[in-house]
Each structure stands twice: as C-alpha cells, then as structure tokens.
Amino acid sequence: MNGRAAILARIQSALARPTDVSIRGDSSTTADRAFSRFLPRVGPDADALARQFAENAASLHAEFHHVDSRDHLVERLRELATENDWRTIATHDGPLAKPASEALRVPLHCVGPDDDAATLAQCDAGISECDALIAQTGSVLVTAASAGGRALSVLTPHHVVLATRSQLTPDLPTAFELLARKYADACPSMISFITGPSRTGDIERTLVLGAHGPRRLTLFLLESEE
Amino acid sequence: MKVSIFIPCFIDQLYPSIGLHTVTLLERVGLDVEFRAEQTCCGQPPFNAGRCREARAIAEHFVRVFQDADLVITPSGSCAAMIKRHYVDLLADSECLQDAVQLGERVWELSQFLVDHLGVVDVGARLSGRATIHDGCHGLRELGIRSAPRRLLEHVRDLRLVEARESETCCGFGGLFAVKFPSIATAMADVKCGAIAEAGVDYVISCDASCLMHIQGLLDRRGDGTKCLHLAEALVSA
Amino acid sequence: MTQTARQFQRNCDTTTNDADHRSWIRIALNQAGDARSTAQARFNDWDGACGAASQIKWESLDHLAENLESFEAKLLARGASVHWAETGEDACAYILRVAAERHAKRIVKSKCMTTEEIGLNERLEAAGLKVVESDLGEFIVQLRKEPPYHFVFPAMHLRRNRISETFEREIGAAPTEDAESLTLTARQELRNVFLSADIGISGANFGVADTGMISITENEGNARLTTSIPRIHIAVMGIEKVIPRLADLALLLPVLATSATGQTLTCYNTMIGGPRQPGEVDGPDEFHVILLDNGRTRLLADPGLRDALRCIRCGACLNICPVYRNIGGHAYDTTYQGPIGAVITPHLQDLTNWKHLAFASSLCGACTETCPVGIRLHDHLHHTRSMVAERKTSGLEAMMARMYAFAALRPGLFQWCGRQMRRTLRMTTRFRGGRLDPFRAWRHTRDLPAAPAKSFHDLWKERKA
C-alpha cells in the first residue's frame, strides 16, 4: 500500500500550526543564497585558482600535474603505466581520454553498455575526463555522461583524470551553475564530486587511503588542447 | 544607589556565607543593599523537571516580590538565566508577563553587574594562590558570562589565574539530574576533577554555587584538597 | 521505571565505571572536535554559512509537501519508482517484495541509519537474503553483531586489536595491528560482494526537490559502488531530508562535512537522479526511492519539536555532549544517539518507554551551541519533560513538585522546610551514602556540604538587629 495520500495529508495538517517564533528566531522565510561569501575564499584569477587547486590536491594526497600538450600528456601517462606496471587499463569513449589511452599501447578496455563490471574491476587503472576541477575544495566534478558512466571513476585502484584549463572552476556554487547550464535538459543519472582518493578513518581514526574506491587519484591539467 | 539582592534557595540554606560575601562586596563598591525577606526561589528546580505549572506559580511570586525593585543582583548565573531567559515563555499566559519581562531587564548576575553595569573590575581583593574558573553552563550559554568573572579575578592581588581544560564542560549537576542519573553526573564531575588536578590549582572559582557543590562533593570524596570558591568569596578576600 | 529506563541505568553504570573506555572515547571525540575547528576556520564566514543552512532547512519543512511532490515527479519522469512508506514495516515489506519479484538473493548496503531504524537487515536475513554492510565501520559492527556506536563513526569504540580479532574470527583473516592491512582485508572481502550483489541499498543525506535526486556523502567509495554495480538500487530516505534546490548543496555539503568529520568536503558527494538513462554505459536498471515517515509526521505536528527534523545528521552534538562522552553510544539502545537521539526517539518511538532519555541530561546547552543548523536541542529535551509532567499528574515527583511550590509561595514555611532539610542532612551524615541515607543518590559517590546552623535569612535578621 502506497502511503502517499496519508503522508501528504498528515504533513498538511501538521503544518497548519505554525512554528513557534521563539524557536525559529528569524521569521524571514528565504535563505540568503549568495553562498560564495560564506565558503572558503578563492583566488582572483586563473593562475591563483590553479595554485589553490594544486595546494588542496596535495593536502588530499591526490597527484596533480600540469601538461602542455596532448603529446606531453601521453608521455606522462606512459611513465605512469611503466612505473605502476599497468597490465590492462580502462577508459571511455571521450575525445581526450580515448586517444590518449590508446596511445599507451597497454591492453585497453573501453567501457560499453554490455560490460561486465568484473572486467572493469580487473583493470589496473581507469582513465576518464571530467566536467570541472574546483579550486575551492580540490575536487573533480564528474558525471555519468562526462566520465564514462558510474563505475569507471571508482572501481579501479587508480583513477586518472584528464582535465583542460577551461574546466578550472572557482568554487562549489559556480560548479553547480555549470551543471545547470551544461545538463539543462538531460541530466545524467549520476553526478559526483570527487575530493581526493578514497579514504577511511574508521580504524582508530587513522587515515588510510584506498578503502573501497581508488587508492590513487592522478589529475592532469592540459594547458593547451593541441 | 540602592540594590535588592536575590539569594538563591540553596545558597540561602547551604552556603549562606556566599550571601553575606555578596552583601559585603556590593557595599564595598558603594551600594546600599536591601534584602526582601519574602523571597524564596526563582522556580528553576521544578522548571527543569518539566513541572511548568508549579514553576510558574513560583515565578509569579518572584515577580511580585521584586517588581518595584530598581535593580536585583543575584550571585547565580543559572538563576539569573532562568529569570532573564525563561520567564518570558514560562509566564506567556500569565497576567504578570509584562512585569516579568521588564523585571528581567533589571536583574543581573553578580559578575556582569559589577563589570558590565558598574564598570568595576578591581574590588581591592587579595587571595594568594593559583585558581581556575569553572564556567557554569546556563550563565555561559544563556547570559554570555565568560569575560566578567575573569576580569574581576585578574585584579585580585597575588592570585594566579590559569585556564583548565574543559572549563566550559558541564560539571554534571543539572539539578535533579545529579540524583536521577548519579553515575552519569559523577562521571561528568570526574572529568572536571581530572582537568582541575592537571591544572594544579588551589582554588576552583565559579559564579554558580550549585556547580561548586557538585565539584567539591567529588573532590572531598577523593580527599583532593582543592577548594571550590564562589566568586563572591574570592572577591571579598583581603 | 520502565524496563528500557532500568536497562539504560544499567548501561550507564557499566560505561561510567569503565575508565579506559571513557578515556578512549574522549580522545577520539577531542580529535574530532579539533578537526572540526580547523575545518570551520577555513570558511570565510562559518556563522553566516550556518545561518543560511538553518534557513534552507526551515524552507524545506515549510514547503515539505510541495518539495516531496516535486522530488517524486522528477524521479518518476526519469524512470525511477517512488514508494511512500508510512511505517518501517511497510518499507521493509516493499523491499522484500522487490527482492522476491526480481529473484534477488544478495544485497550490499552502504551506510543508512534509516534502515537501522526500521530493522531492515533482520527482516531481510529472516527472509533468507544475504546482506552485507559495505561501510568499513558498519562492516565491522555487523560482523560483531553489535549496533553502530555513533551514527557517523559506527566503530569508534573499537581499538585495532579488537577489529583484528573480529576479522580473524569471522572471515579468517590473519591477525594484524596495521590499520592499512585491516582496511585492505575489508576492501578485498567487499570487492566480490559489490560485484555479485543483486540489490544495492543506500540511504540519502539529502533529497533534492527541484531536480529529483538523492545526495550521498561518504569517504570510502562504498556508496558509489553500491549504487553503480548491482542491477537494482533502492534508497531509503526519511521524508524530512528533502531540500528545495540542487544548488543548496553547494552550502550544505561543506557544512555537513565540516561539522561531521572536519573535512571541507568528504571524498565522494554523489547525486543520483534515476536508474541508468538512455546512452549511459552502466548503472542500475531499476532505481527505487522509499520515502519513510515512521513517526516523522508526529514530530512535524508539534510546532515546538519539528525543529528537530532539520537535523543533517552531522553528529556534532554527540561529539560535544558530556553525557554521550561518558556513557558512550551503546548505552542509549537507540538508532540515533546523543542529544538528537534523546530528542527524537521518545517521539519517533513512544514517550512511555523512552522518556528517560529526555531526563538523562543536565541541559547544559552545548549541543544547541554546536549544532550547525541551530536546532534548539536542549530546549526540546525540556519540552519533552513538560509533556511527561503534563501526563503524569500523580506519583511521587508530581507530589514533590506541588509541595515545593506550596512552600515556595509561603516564605515562612519555605524557611521552616529548609531548616528541616538541614537538620536531616546533619543527622544523616553518618550514613554517608549507605542504604539508610535519604541523600543516598548523591552521597553514594559524592560528599555533601556540612549543613550550616543558620540560613542566610537568619543571618540577615541578626545583622539588622
């Protein structure tokens, strides 16, 4: 039995009695939504934002690198592949991620609709694009549309993110504005703000990286799209 | 200037000397002190227990006793908070609501009266030793009593004031709570006593005698010689 | 005293006598407090942030019906199912029906206090389904068959040796004192669970009305996996969790993370608005959202208490509460512990059996002071006490209150009563907390002052004479 009508009726009758003013304090009914002035300050220009992002990423134990060109990006990815002995990697059909991943000449799994998650789970790294890098918090904004679905950015032990300069965003409010603009008509079913590699403090409050999500998060900021 | 004093029920019965010290102190700063014998209680004990009907009757008596007093000074943060913050809701349906609200403006906790109203921080006291302050919860959170007692004690000669850990943590008295949940209350007092011991002081000073009764109760049971003093006691020392 | 109240006293006696336990909790919560202070300081204006967050949560309640209807409509448009459950039993029945109809056997869960509240795991297991908690802390207490100790830090009471023993006993892991190894054990154990589960059950920290999404805040990534891999995703969410706008999360997510764990943002903050959409490569085929009432409309109906429905479950009130710090989370025997738990449980459950929680407080107000959305927690505890007093007009306490008031209106009588109290105190000092001492409740563990011969009233009269 769906309790919809009953619950809505109870809500209506409950709210017929207004809240005591003494509890509510301010009786105004709308919140001040200019959140930026409450949240941590952000730098005034693109370089300051990049620096702020880098600082935040470092304190989160995320690796952050600037690369000048696509060639440079591929070079750095090859280094990662060698250092970490990547046997298979995964990526998605993105204009930046796919060609870069293919250039590594490591067995590549490109996520698709008929996939078995177990295949993806065997990959040593997942390479994805993103929607934004948020300077204020050191976060990466991904969606099911921009980052190859839901599992790619969380199932492998090493998540690599490819971002472009234009994706550097000052703060959380602007990031939400970006989402509203970009996905106005067709919102992806998953949006996620990723802030550092996976972690837990559940064991005696000791910080341990790589609880269930990736143990490593490597972010590349591509300065120029050539 | 004439002031009326309100002596809380448990100070009246268990720590009357605090009442005397309060009078001495106020006279020392040049005030003419009156004590209205019809006073009994501010109503906090039944109020805390949720017995609002009884608390209201007692509050109405309080308002009647003091309604024409120019100023009412009390050596208790929790009683002052009761009168100034809770009477307005407690007496919402009472005929004497308006009187209560206006009276509340003229009621002062002792340390705030001296520092914020009279502008007095030095009362010529001397007390030799190390002391730490316990901030009683109601005074702290409902009346903002934090700097006034510290400023007064900083001017007590030969007294070294130190901040202990947990100075703002509840001592565990909480009225009937202390006897309804004695294991929790004692554990809370234990935390305070531990912090006090760490601070290595001779005195624990507070604006609330009820808190001090609780803390001293555990200190004494443990044979810890640290002495709890009400602010008034510390300020009349010479 | 009810059974539950008696058990509560016994629980308190146990923890308060365990100095090691209390000391460990204090260390852990002091660390949490320090982390929060550091994170708070990063805000440009923390008080302003809390003020706005508080107002957003009031707006959420003011327009609760419209917000829930919009939330539902948007979800339905994207192919999700929405079920409104009046009771916990109803919610459990719905989930069992889905499991039966889809021939599901294995369930993985991410942290969801609402499912604890309705006893979901027990119902699922009784129906022969395998349920595994994936949040590390929840995984550990599930193995130990214990309830969560704190609704943000479920295993905070356990030292690593206990956790190692648990893993050794329940999943055959090698003993270790290393936190990384213990975490890796859980990671490996859960990997297969994620990959083979038929249903993933999650909670929701917020429900977004204008876009029809749930928002999940976590650090481990287990909620991301729970909601990505299994073919069916069921989210259970209290009706009070809905907020007006997606953009409100720009404020609420950092306020929650700062207050809960001392992070500006937790590792994963994920909004889910439907099952897999056309063109997406993965994601569940089905997404069910269960909107749970289970007594929340009862709280809503009290214009004083509905304030408590604005809780964002950050746990800060637990962390600061001297009662919680000294009795620990298990003593409460409730889903929600600490001040917020003490406020809502007597009303979500029943007043008769849970009213003692409202009295097990000194009303110090530290909870109210720390709450990031300004819930007047200690006032609500007091409000519950008044409700109890109004119902219990007979009995010892009611009589004592009436006698006290009778005396307090008669100054001469009040003085006389005070004299008798002091006499009794003097005469019974020698019993010192033993069974014959009328002041036993106090004097069992603490001394009382020596009874003065004269009251202040007496001394004043002498002074004047």
The CATH number of whichever domain residue A153 belongs to comes to 3.40.50.10420
Q: Is residue A29 part of a domain?
A: no
Secondary structure (DSSP) of C165-232: HHHHHHH-PPP---HHHHHHHHHHHHHHHHHH-SEEEE--SEEETTTTEEEEEESSSHHHHHTTSSSE
Compute the count of residue pairs across chains B and C with CB atoms less than 8 Å apart.
184
> Rounded to whole angstroms, what are the CA distances from B148 to B119, B135, B153, C270?
10, 11, 9, 48
Nearest to A149 among C59, C222, C281 (CB): C281
Q: What is the pLDDT of residue C464?
A: 82
Q: Which range of residues forms the domain containing residue A192? A: 45-222
Chain B hits for C460, Cβ within 8 Å: 19, 35, 37
- Alpha carbon B170 to chain centroid distance? 14
Q: Which residues of B touch C382 (CB under 8 A)?
A: 48, 50
Residues in A 153-192 with any Cβ partner in C closer than 8 A: 154-155, 171-173, 175-177, 179-180, 186-192
User: Mean pLDDT over all residues of chain B?
Assistant: 97
Kindly determine whether residue B51 and residue C401, on different chains, have CB atoms separated by under 8 Å: yes
Compute the mean pLDDT over every residue in chain A, rounded to the nearest whole number. Answer: 94
Best residue in A29, A53, A189 for a mutation probing chain C (most C CBs within 10 Å): A189
Q: Sheet holding B32-35: strands in order across?
A: B32-35, B2-5, B72-74, B107-109
Are the beta carbons of B147 and B161 closer than 8 angstroms? Answer: no
Tens-digit pLDDT profile for residues B45-91: 999 999 999 999 999 999 999 999 999 999 999 999 999 999 999 99
What is the residue-wise DSSP string for A35-70?
A: GGGTSPP--SSHHHHHHHHHHHHHHTT-EEEEESSH
Q: Inspect the interface and report whether the beta carbons of C322 and B172 lie closer than 8 Å.
A: yes
How far, CA to CA in Å, does C47 sit from each of A170, A202, C118, C315, C374? 22, 29, 35, 18, 10
Distances (CA, A) of C256 to A38, C46, C162, C259: 14, 12, 30, 5
Residue B42 in 3-state DSSP? coil
Domains and CATH numbers, chain C: 43-294 (3.40.50.10420), 297-391 (no CATH), 396-464 (no CATH)
In percent, the amount of chain A with pLDDT more than 70 equals 97
**Pair of tokens at residue A133:** 């890098």
Q: Is the dihedral of CA C60, C64, C69, C75 positive or negative?
A: positive
Any C CB within 8 A of B75 CB:
no
Query: Which of the four pLDDT bands, split at 50, 70 and 90, describes residue A145?
Result: very high
Asked casually if ipTM beats, i.e. exceeds, 0.95, the reply is yes
Gap between the Cα atoms of B28 and B5, Å rounded: 15
User: Are B237 and B107 spatial neighbours (Cβ–Cβ below 8 Å)?
Assistant: no
* pLDDT tens for each residue of B164-196: 999 999 999 999 999 999 999 999 999 999 999
Residue A12 forms part of a structural domain: no
Res. A27 pLDDT band, cuts 50 70 90: low
Can you give the pLDDT of all 465 residues of chain C as single tens digits?
A: 899 999 999 999 999 999 999 999 999 999 999 999 999 999 999 999 999 999 999 999 999 999 999 999 999 999 999 999 999 999 999 999 999 999 999 999 999 999 999 999 999 999 999 999 999 999 999 999 999 999 999 999 999 999 999 999 999 999 999 999 999 999 999 999 999 999 999 999 999 999 999 999 999 999 999 999 999 999 999 999 999 999 999 999 999 999 999 999 999 999 999 999 999 999 999 999 999 999 999 999 999 999 999 999 999 999 999 999 999 999 999 999 999 999 999 999 999 999 999 999 999 999 999 999 999 999 999 999 999 999 988 899 999 999 999 999 999 999 999 999 999 999 998 888 888 899 999 999 999 999 999 999 999 999 888
Local confidence band at A226 (pLDDT 50, 70, 90 cut-offs): low
Q: CA–CA distance from B70 to each of A90, B66, B118 (Å)?
A: 80, 9, 14
Q: A47-77: b or e for each residue (b if 16 or more CB lie within 10 Å)?
A: eebbebbbebbeebebbbeebeebebbbebb
Tell whether A10 is covered by a domain. Answer: no
In sign, the C-alpha dihedral spanning C244, C249, C255, C258 is: positive
Condensed to tens digits (0 to 9), the pLDDT of residues B101-120 reads 999 999 999 999 999 999 99
How many distinct helices (H) and strands (E) make up chain C?
24, 10
Q: Which pLDDT score, from 0 to 100, does residue A182 have?
A: 96
Asked if the model's pLDDT at residue A115 lies above 90, the reply is no
Chain C residues with CB under 8 Å of B186 CB are 16, 445-446
pLDDT of residue B200: 96
Number of domains in chain A: 1
Please give the single-letter amino acid code of residue C5: A
Q: Name the B residues in 13-32 with CB < 8 Å from any C CB.
A: 13-17, 19-20
Mean pLDDT of chain C: 97
Position A26 scores a pLDDT of 64
Residue C465, pLDDT score: 80
Return d(Cα B116, Cα B147) in angstroms, integer.
10
Residue A38 inside a domain? The answer is no
- In single-letter form, the type of residue at position B85 comes to R
**Domain-embedded: residue A35:** no
User: What are the E-state strand segments in B168-231?
Assistant: 203-206, 227-230
Considering only CB atoms, A35 lies closest to which of C42, C52, C221, namely: C52
Amino acid identity of residue B229, one-letter, is L
Comparing CB atoms, the residue among B20, B46, B221 nearest residue C446 is B221
Q: What is the pLDDT of residue A29?
A: 63
**In a domain? residue A31:** no
Task: Examine residue A13 and state whether it is found in any structural domain, yes or no.
Answer: no
In DSSP terms, B140 is beta-bridged to none
For residues A31-55, give the mean pLDDT: 94
Distance between CA atoms of residues B61 and C366, nearest Å: 31
Q: Is A142 part of a structural domain of the chain?
A: yes
Judged against a pLDDT cut of 70, whether residue A44 lies above it is answered with yes
| Distance of alpha carbon B198 from the chain centroid | 25
Amino acid code (one letter) for C120: L
Chain pair A-C, CB pairs under 8 angstroms: 300
Length of chain B: 238
